[in-house]
Amino acid sequence: MYSFACDYLEGCHEEVLKALCQTNLEQTPGYGADRFTKAATEKIRQLCRDDAAAVYFVNGGTQANQLVIDTMLQPYEGVVAAQSGHVNVHEAGAIEFSGHKVLAIPSARHDGKLAAADADAFVKAFYADPNHEHMVFPGMVYISHPTEYGTLYTAQELRELSAVCRRHHMSLYLDGARLVYGLAAYGTDVTLSLLDELCDVFYIGGTKAGALNGEAIVFPRGAEPPHFLTRIKQHGALSAKGRLIGTQFAALLENDLYFRIGRHAIDMAREIRKIFQDAGCRFYLDSPTNQQFVILENESLRKLSAWVGFEFWEPYDAAHAVVRFASSWATTPAGIAELRKAVALCLPRK
């Protein structure tokens, strides 16, 4: 049964695998001092148009989030995030494990985005409170792009968030677990070099973008926390064979592979979207990226799940639920065809 349950169902892109095979027996030093990691770093600098960018590679997203937030914050600071932010909900308390509070901002909107105005109001209220020295200082704004709901910030929205952060001496951190699908979306005006300009730190996701594992943390203009390698080790996040991730990123960033991967997934997501639109389904929100959130009747959901894989997201009302279909670099036209057939079979004609 073909599955759209998430975007990390397969191994890695064949170009990535080829690179691993070709370099496998070369001897290299450990801990990221190898030539592949250096090459990957260089390519990221070029894409970011930032020769001084400091780049570090870690295994996964929660690890990147814990490490970045803990090392960029002062110990008396917390991280401002949308209530629905991954760090607030789905990381098993990894941020608090390292001693920091997530300052969650309830958003009236269900699109997972944190508005600059909301962040600004929160921080202003904090400093206006005469008791704020008894409270957790807001030291960073965390956003994900695409968000947990597949939505995207515009360049203008990012500029505003960045301005709020700079005004209040907070850092801006962008979680790019699915950044590949954000950069490749139709109509977006966000680029890597814009992120490098506006953020204090961000990561470029590899695990969901064609790699077996790995995320690239970027500190624009070289502004990394002191002794960052030691901090990585202290967090249990330093790979002996740093080459594993370095080689994969070097391959991903060669010949535009990374962007081709993203565009492929976006096009597949459009196919998914069209299938459900044609079936008369509503969407939970309008996502321009690889995750599509469809509202299904409970009975249709039950039927469909026998034919194709997807993820239950949350109840919508008594009779409906939100489900997620995710495309990825690996989604095949054959998979899309199976989905089309299954939907025709299981969903009522409208």
Q: What residues from 56 to 95 belong to the interface with a copy of itself (CB under 8 A)?
A: 59-63, 65-67, 70-71, 74-76, 78, 89-95
Residue in 49, 124, 241, 341 binding a copy of itself, rule: CB under 8 A: 241
Comparison of 51 and 117: residue with beta carbon closer to a copy of itself:
117
Comparison of 126 and 283: residue with beta carbon closer to a copy of itself:
126
The tokens 């921080």 sit on which residue?
123
Piece in contact with a copy of itself (CB under 8 A), picked from 7-15, 263-271, 277-285, 289-297: 7-15
293 vs 311: CA distance, rounded Å: 10
Size of the site for a copy of itself (CB under 8 A): 81
Comparison of 147 and 162: residue with beta carbon closer to a copy of itself:
147
Shortest gap between Cβ of 270 and a copy of itself (angstroms)?
A: 21
Site string for a copy of itself, 254-293 (x = CB under 8 A): ----------------------------------------
Residue in 14, 51, 256, 278 binding a copy of itself, rule: CB under 8 A: 14
Spatial contact of 296 and 304, defined as CB atoms under 8 Å apart = yes
Q: What is the number of H-type helices and E-type strands within the chain?
A: 14, 11
How does DSSP classify residue 25? Answer: T
Site membership for a copy of itself, residue 233 (CB under 8 A): yes
Distances, alpha carbon 194 to alpha carbons 151, 190, 191, in Å: 18, 6, 5
Shortest gap between Cβ of 60 and a copy of itself (angstroms)?
A: 6
Site membership for a copy of itself, residue 237 (CB under 8 A): yes
Alpha helices in 168-238 (DSSP H): 179-183, 192-198, 228-234
**In the range 188-207, which residues lie near a copy of itself by CB under 8 A?**
207
Site string for a copy of itself, 118-157 (x = CB under 8 A): ------------xx-xxxxx--------------------
Residue in 46, 191, 193, 213 binding a copy of itself, rule: CB under 8 A: 213
115 vs 143: CA distance, rounded Å: 10
**In the range 301-320, which residues lie near a copy of itself by CB under 8 A?**
309, 312
Comparison of 14 and 286: residue with beta carbon closer to a copy of itself:
14
- The encoded tokens of residue 320 equal 């409906």
Site membership for a copy of itself, residue 243 (CB under 8 A): yes
3 vs 128: CA distance, rounded Å: 50
* Residues 13-30: b if buried by 16+ CB within 10 A, e if exposed: bebbbebbeebeeeebee
Distances, alpha carbon 92 to alpha carbons 63, 88, 305, 314, in Å: 12, 9, 28, 19
Residue in 123, 190, 266, 330 binding a copy of itself, rule: CB under 8 A: 330
3-state SS, residue 152 = coil
Piece in contact with a copy of itself (CB under 8 A), picked from 53-61, 189-197, 275-283, 297-305: 53-61
264 vs 270: CA distance, rounded Å: 10
Cis peptide bond prior to 138, omega within 30° of 0: no
146 vs 77: CA distance, rounded Å: 25
Shortest gap between Cβ of 164 and a copy of itself (angstroms)?
A: 21
Piece in contact with a copy of itself (CB under 8 A), picked from 5-13, 261-269, 272-280, 293-301: 5-13
